[in-house]
Structure 1
Amino acid sequence: MKEIQEFSHTLLNNVEKVIIGKRPNLEMLVVSLLCEGHTLLEDVPGVGKTMLARAFAVSLGIQFKRLQCTPDLLPNDVTGVSIFDQQKQGFTFVPGPVFSNILLADEINRATPRTQSALLEAMGERQVTVDGVTHELERPFFVLATQNPVEYEGTFPLPEAQLDRFFMKLSLGYLDEASESQMLLNLGRDHPIDSLQQVVDGNDLPQLARQVWDVHVDDTVRDYIVRLTFATRRHKDLILGASPRGSHALYRGIQAHAAVQGRDYTLPDDVKKLAPVILSHRCLIHPESALRGHTNAGILKEIMADTPLDIGELE
């Protein structure tokens, strides 16, 4: 796992030249990349979500496109459109922004459900179908979608089926005082993103993702993942628990996290660290429980505290 560890640390150190004070969040994004997953970034404006996507794309040396989601955005604005070419006397496909390696779907919940659904096939199958013709997407393909958790006017909440397509959900949050002071100093002249250089080859990600499969997961750890997932489906405050796709994502995620740390085996601590960002957004809370102040994150924390690592601990 040395190759993955070196790749990850080189990438993280370079991105930190632009995004400071958020190393744990950046590590989670690297885990998502190594699992070829997509990430939903829910945060207030101005904390560096767009800059984060750009910094990763530049550091990896792969193509980056930004899609600003608005209510008047159409599905063809995402996937592309077929235009009649008079010279060739035939239709020519003009690819949309989804044909990139990293797609930033900014404020995804401002797009209509019809437009949001245009991303489903791309995220799930790595392909898009336009006018009956299927077009394959290049690998790596990584969607980083953002949404504002405060302002809901004029928005269209993502349905559970689409939320489940996201490998993980993160929140950067505000910087601490020392980090924000350093940020102001760094932005005193040219923006750090302007001088950022490629340090790793992003085209190696699919091959590194296959190496992640070789990380050992003990039966005890695998059973722990299953018990956590089943506990979300039985909890009284949840209408909907985590799906089998969620348990598989957590399984893959702990393998990638262990590899980033240079280990060829997983630990229960990997599960505890990744479960909140991989399982919580896949759960649907009862409205009555939400009114009582319960949250997905709080319920999952309670489930993790009540779920033993070894089934023998129940006896």
Structure 2
Amino acid sequence: MTRRPRNVPVPVLPYSRLVGQDELRTTLEIAYVNPAVGGVLATGQRGTAKTTTVRAFSRMVSERLPVTLPIGATDDRVLGGWQIKKLMQGVAKPEVGLLVEAARSPARILFVDEINLLDDYLVNIILDVVSTGVLNVQREGLAQELQQVRFNLIGTMNPDEGGLRPQLLDRFGLMADVAPEEDPEQRLRIIETVLRFEAERATSGSTYLAKAKKADAAKRAELNAARALLPEVTHGKGTLAYCARLAAAFRVVGHRGDLVLSQASRALAAMEGTTEATPQHVRRLARAALAHRRSTTESGSVPPWTAEDDTLAESLLPDPAR
């Protein structure tokens, strides 16, 4: 396989120049502001810029691409193993795996493209580490001390190519449903943006790219300010009760959905510069936190979020007069 030279930058559309992708961008930003949310799963058909958006986000927050787990990765590559060259010389020297690389990376992101095609065994390991923050490697010939490993897991998948088991879907904090743009004007904007980016990349001293970089830096500062504010954010009256009512009404199995709603609402409030998470914040996150937790089939198919679901979520909002 041909590898790109390390000194050649990977061209990525600036985050501030993305067209649409509102739900995916919001979920990525929330997970960055409050990692306790538990990562993001982006679902959608091919060609909907899921990977582009994730890479642009990582580049925006850290000026680096995310650590990426390739399809076909072995457990040694994921968990860590021995350096083969050293072993051949009779020296046992550990090789850092992708999970540790992600935790040490500037973005602290592990990106798994087409996660539904990854071996379930590896998916289970990754999600367990995300949940506990601890990597415990105990295999024949390799035993390491427990390591604190914390990163945001971002996965993408095309439902047409298969799903994830409900148990695995539930481990992602938020899910963004990425659909192709149907508005001709928006589709035109996408074409123009991509062509402009390609042209500007070949232009020395491009003011277009300089402005985009400045806009990305401003967004990064905004998100970091929200992270700093997060410890001060509390839940307003009725907010936690609304989280519980929503999860019960949508028949969510377990309690992870309730907790994600509570954590994500705090992040959303911090992003808006307020120190109180309200039921309205929770309402805006109902689809992202609950839609993938209603799966009732072993195929991992996610029932579509409908207008009736929105109506139900609205009906459960507490009366502000009380």
Change (3 A) 1:24 1:159: closer
Match for residue 297 of structure 1 among 282, 290, 305 = 305
Deviation string, structure 1 residues 263-286 (Cα, Å, up to 9, x no partner): 222232211110111012122337
Kept in 2, the 8 Å contact 1:53–1:102? The answer is no
Report the CA distance between 1:30 and its aligned residue: 0.6
Q: Which residue in 1 is equivalent to 2:24?
A: 25
Deviation string, structure 1 residues 128-182 (Cα, Å, up to 9, x no partner): 2333323333x5x211101111233xxxx42333222211000221123222212
Kept in 1, the 8 Å contact 2:232–2:275? The answer is yes
Alignment partners' CA distance in 2, 1:54 and 1:179: 21
Alignment partners' CA distance in 2, 1:41 and 1:103: 14
Determine helix, strand or coil for the equivalent of 1:103: strand
1:100-115 matches, cutoff 5 A: 100=102, 101-115=108-122
Report the CA distance between 1:58 and its aligned residue: 1.2
Give the percent of matched residue pairs that are identical in Structure 1 and Structure 2.
Answer: 20
1:142-153 matches, cutoff 5 A: 142-152=152-162
Report the CA distance between 1:78 and its aligned residue: 2.2
Kept in 1, the 8 Å contact 2:226–2:270? The answer is no
1:60-209 matches, cutoff 5 A: 60-61=61-62, 62=64, 64-69=66-71, 72-83=72-83, 85-86=86-87, 89-98=90-99, 99-100=101-102, 101-130=108-137, 131-133=142-144, 134-137=146-149, 141-152=151-162, 157-175=163-181, 176-188=183-195, 190-191=197-198, 195=209, 197=213, 199=217, 209=227
Q: Does 1:15 align with 2:15?
A: yes
Gaps of 5+ in 1: 1-13, 234-240
Kept in 2, the 8 Å contact 1:276–1:297? The answer is yes
Report the CA distance between 1:211 and its aligned residue: 3.2
Alignment partners' CA distance in 2, 1:25 and 1:170: 5
Amino acid in the other structure paired with 1:66: T
Change (3 A) 1:303 1:90: farther
Q: Does 1:244 align with 2:251?
A: no
Change (3 A) 1:266 1:311: closer
Q: Which residue in 2 is equivalent to 1:238?
A: none
Alignment partners' CA distance in 2, 1:28 and 1:91: 42
Alignment partners' CA distance in 2, 1:128 and 1:91: 20
Query: Structure 1 length as normaliser, TM-score?
Result: 0.75
Q: Does 1:41 align with 2:42?
A: yes
Change (3 A) 1:270 1:20: same
Report the CA distance between 1:83 and its aligned residue: 3.2
**Which has the larger displacement, 125-134 or 30-39?**
125-134
Amino acid in the other structure paired with 1:82: W
What is the RMSD computed on CA atoms of the aligned residues?
A: 3.3
Q: Does 1:280 align with 2:291?
A: yes
Determine helix, strand or coil for the equivalent of 1:94: strand
Kept in 1, the 8 Å contact 2:23–2:176? The answer is no
Q: Which residue in 2 is equivalent to 1:254?
A: 265
Deviation string, structure 1 residues 191-249 (Cα, Å, up to 9, x no partner): 4996564626979979954631322312312211112222233xxxxxxx243221111
Report the CA distance between 1:89 and its aligned residue: 4.7
Deviation string, structure 1 residues 32-91 (Cα, Å, up to 9, x no partner): 21121300000111111111111111111255122232xx44322322222362598542
Kept in 2, the 8 Å contact 1:80–1:94? The answer is yes
Report the CA distance between 1:109 and its aligned residue: 0.8
Query: Structure 2 length as normaliser, TM-score?
Result: 0.74
Kept in 1, the 8 Å contact 2:15–2:60? The answer is yes
Change (3 A) 1:229 1:199: same
Report the CA distance between 1:306 and its aligned residue: 4.7
Kept in 2, the 8 Å contact 1:41–1:146? The answer is yes
Kept in 2, the 8 Å contact 1:20–1:179? The answer is yes
Kept in 1, the 8 Å contact 2:291–2:303? The answer is no
Q: Does 1:270 align with 2:269?
A: no
Gaps of 5+ in 2: 1-13, 103-107, 202-208
Kept in 1, the 8 Å contact 2:83–2:92? The answer is yes
Determine helix, strand or coil for the equivalent of 1:246: helix
